[in-house]
Amino acid sequence: MYLIFRCDCGRAVYAKEGVKQKKCVCGKNLKVKERRILAKTEDSQEASEKVQELQEEKYGGAYFTTANKL
Ligand SMILES: [Zn+2]
Give CA–CA dist 49/25, Å, rounded: 17
Q: What is the pLDDT along the chain (70 residues), one digit of tens a residue?
A: 999 999 999 999 999 999 999 999 999 999 999 999 999 999 999 999 999 999 887 766 555 555 555 4
Q: First CA to last CA across the chain, in angstroms?
A: 38
Where are the chain's structural domains?
Answer: 2-69
Amino acid 63: pLDDT: 52
Instruction: Provide the residues around ligand 1 (an ion) whose CB is within 5 A.
Output: 7, 9, 11, 24, 26, 28
| Ligand 1 centroid – CA 34 distance (Å) | 14
Q: Is 5 helix (H, G, I), strand (E, B) or coil?
A: strand
Residues 41-62 as b or e (16 or more Cβ within 10 Å = b): beeeeebeebbeebbeeeeeee
| Ligand 1 centroid – CA 13 distance (Å) | 8
Amino acid 55: pLDDT: 86
Amino acid 65: pLDDT: 52
Amino acid 56: pLDDT: 82
CATH class for the domain made up of 2-69: alpha beta
Backbone angles phi, psi at 7, to 5 degrees: -80, 165
| Ligand 1 centroid – CA 26 distance (Å) | 4
| Ligand 1 centroid – CA 24 distance (Å) | 5
